[in-house]
Chains A and B, each alone.
Chain A
Amino acid sequence: GAVVSQHPSWVICKSGTSVKIECRSLDFQATTMFWYRQFPKQSLMLMATSNEGSKATYEQGVEKDKFLINHASLTLSTLTVTSAHPEDSSFYICSAPHRGGEKLFFGSGTQLSVL
């Protein structure tokens, strides 16, 4: 079946540094990918829609300069948390639609901890 690979699974970084998270569709192409954030014991909140070859679309309240999204190819989207702070600590998870979008497949997620 379709697989979405996300790396790293977890990362610990110092405040002020930048962290890049990769999301790859392994056996299918995805012109669109979605990035979600999930705080402990809460639901998934959509952050942005990544579009191959064009700018990402951000949800209201999400800082574009803080969360940089690049969808450089049909199989890769990256989320860079710039100048990370402790309040950015969260679980980040990407998803990609397969075959017309009826099914969304998710990556395994990235747990970010900013010290």
Chain B
Amino acid sequence: AQKITQTQPGMFVQEKEAVTLDCTYDTSDPSYGLFWYKQPSSGEMIFLIYQGSYDQQNATEGRYSLNFQKARKSANLVISASQLGDSAMYFCAMRDELIQGAQKLVFGQGTRLTINP
């Protein structure tokens, strides 16, 4: 079975600093996808970034980048120039299996990020 591990329950960062949220995964499937979602206090899940296992380059989306180290099975999220609005829960997730072209995700435990002014 696939597994996602986020070892940082909470992170505190000063505004404008960069922050790295850790995520390691375990799978025997050669083809997989890795996701990061942001969940503010309102509860909605906001898609941030996606990395496919065969992608040659690390994914980037604005201030978000994914440090994908396949051999180490890690997919850390890097947020550059953090903002107060970045304070939220962050979940790493892995595609579990492909169902009718859709994807079932397995989520990590989450990291609560707090940005201090």
Contact present for A104 and B100 (CB under 8 Å): no
Contact present for B43 and A93 (CB under 8 Å): yes
Contact present for A32 and B43 (CB under 8 Å): no
Contact present for B99 and A106 (CB under 8 Å): no
Contact of A108 among B42, B96, B110 (CB under 8 A): B42
User: A16-24, A62-70, A78-86, A95-103: which one contacts chain B?
Assistant: A95-103
Chain B, interface size: which category?
20 to 34
Which chain A residue lies CB-closest to B108?
A43
Majority SS at the chain B contact face: strand
Of B42, B50, B98, B101, chain A has the most CB atoms within 10 Å of the CB of: B101
Contact present for B33 and A102 (CB under 8 Å): yes
Contact present for A103 and B50 (CB under 8 Å): yes
Q: How far is the CB of B113 from chain A (nearest CB, A)?
A: 14
Which parts of B91-110 form the interface with A (CB within 8 Å)? 91, 96, 98-110
B44 at the interface (CB under 8 A from A): yes
Residue pairs across A and B with Cβ atoms less than 8 A apart, 17 shown, are A30-B102, A34-B102, A44-B105, A44-B107, A46-B105, A49-B99, A49-B104, A51-B100, A97-B103, A101-B101, A101-B102, A102-B33, A102-B50, A103-B50, A104-B47, A106-B47, A108-B44
A: residues with CB less than 8 A from B are: 30-32, 34, 42-46, 49, 51, 57, 91, 93, 95, 97, 100-109, 111
B: residues with CB less than 8 A from A are: 33, 35, 37, 42-47, 50, 91, 96, 98-110
